[in-house]
């Protein structure tokens, strides 16, 4: 989803040739294959958006896959970029890197200050490793070789191109699919995991793509003024949050489902609140543009197009 949005934006940018490879063309867990791909193409810049992602259920069922796949993908790409002479790289992480009990809103300095949320700990650890990989290459090779690898941590993302799998998706695409299918089946109710009380912040993927280009291109001197060598990542959030309960009813209304919403309190809630402090990004001049309701409307339109191809 994120990579597709970045690609759409890059394709509207002058003097840019975007080179990609799908999973059938390149296994990012294969170190030799990734190194060959980088040596053959000699990239100027790299946007590292590739990752194995999923919701609470997927993280619970496949913890080994989530930590192994993401560690391998990140290590192979970042190291291959370095070996092939890439000076500028942007790594995309996740807001789950922060401790479960972080003060709200969560600042970048909260990283590694406490215990992680258990439901997605393996994924979070892999993303923390990605940040530290970038920082370590900067610290070791920044002055001597001009290495400038940057990291941004988005809040919960949604939008066109999302994964609408009924069991493995994140909350927004899962709700969209549930309410849509319930409407088609004339169901009387839709079940939502958890109590509905947790608060979550949501950012449209196209806002995230704009943030990626913004942070790839902003002058390093400006970055250095608001970050430090061992706390160099930036939060990218919307600036406000919404309860899962209110989100569910908002999606229900957008889809047009008339039945009840039932919250299954036997299912996990995850972290009760996770709002990012994006003030550093704001100080540099980046702000989101797409309101949640507008973004959900475009997401639902995308889902309906996808259902015609099979989701």
The angle, 0 to 180 degrees and rounded to 10, between the axes of the packed helices 63-83 and 121-145 is: 10
pLDDT in tens, 33-46: 999 999 999 999 99
- The answer to whether position 169 is within a domain reads no
- The answer to whether position 310 is within a domain reads no
- Indicate the Cα dihedral angle 152, 158, 161, 163, nearest 10°: 100
| 101 phi and psi angles, rounded to 5 deg | -100, 30
Where does the pLDDT of residue 56 fall: very low under 50, low under 70, confident under 90, or very high at 90 and above?
A: confident
- The answer to whether position 206 is within a domain reads yes
Query: Mean of the pLDDT values across residues 259-273?
Result: 90
Where does the pLDDT of residue 309 fall: very low under 50, low under 70, confident under 90, or very high at 90 and above?
A: very low
CB atoms near residue 274 (< 10 Å): 23
Q: Domain with 119 in it: what CATH number? A: 3.40.50.720
pLDDT in tens, 236-253: 999 999 999 999 999 999
- The answer to whether position 128 is within a domain reads yes
- The answer to whether position 189 is within a domain reads no
Strand partners, 276: 106
- The total number of structural domains that make up the chain: 1
- What pLDDT does 308 receive? 56
Known catalytic residues? 123
pLDDT in tens, 185-238: 999 999 998 999 999 999 999 999 999 999 999 999 999 999 999 999 999 999
- The answer to whether position 15 is within a domain reads yes
- The answer to whether position 65 is within a domain reads yes
- Contact present, 197 and 243 (Cβ < 8 Å): yes
Where does the pLDDT of residue 264 fall: very low under 50, low under 70, confident under 90, or very high at 90 and above?
A: very high
Mean per-residue pLDDT of the chain:
94
Range of the domain at 154: 2-163+201-240+276-290
């Amino acid at each position: 989803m994120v990579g597709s949005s970045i690609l759409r934006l890059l394709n509207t940018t002058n003097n840019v040739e975007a080179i990609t490879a799908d999973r059938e063309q390149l296994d990012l867990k294969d170190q030799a294959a990734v190194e060959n791909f980088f040596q053959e193409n000699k990239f100027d810049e790299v946007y590292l958006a590739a990752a194995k992602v999923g919701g609470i259920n997927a993280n619970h069922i496949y913890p080994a896959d989530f930590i192994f796949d993401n560690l391998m993908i990140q290590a192979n790409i970042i190291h291959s970029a370095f070996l092939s002479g890439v000076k500028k790289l942007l790594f995309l992480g996740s807001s789950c890197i922060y401790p479960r009990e972080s003060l709200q809103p969560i600042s970048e300095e909260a990283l590694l200050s406490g215990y992680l949320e258990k439901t997605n700990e393996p994924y979070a650890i892999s993303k923390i490793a990605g940040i530290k990989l970038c920082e370590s290459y900067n610290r070791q090779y920044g002055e001597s070789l001009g290495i400038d690898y940057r990291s941004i941590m988005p809040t919960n993302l949604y939008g066109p191109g999302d994964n609408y799998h009924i069991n493995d998706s994140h909350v927004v695409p899962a709700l969209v699919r549930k309410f849509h299918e319930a409407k088609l089946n004339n169901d009387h109710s839709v079940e939502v995991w958890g109590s509905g009380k947790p608060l979550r912040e949501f950012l449209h993927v196209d806002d995230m793509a704009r943030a990626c280009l913004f942070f790839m291109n902003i002058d390093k001197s400006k970055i250095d003024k608001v970050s430090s060598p061992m706390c160099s990542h930036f939060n990218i959030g919307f600036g406000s949050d919404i309860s899962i309960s209110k989100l569910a009813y908002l999606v229900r209304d957008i889809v047009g489902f008339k039945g009840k919403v039932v919250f299954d309190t036997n299912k996990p809630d995850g972290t009760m609140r996770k709002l990012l402090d994006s003030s550093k990004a704001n100080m540099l001049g980046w702000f989101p543009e797409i309101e949640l309701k507008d973004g959900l409307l475009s997401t639902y339109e995308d889902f309906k197009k996808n259902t015609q191809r099979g989701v």
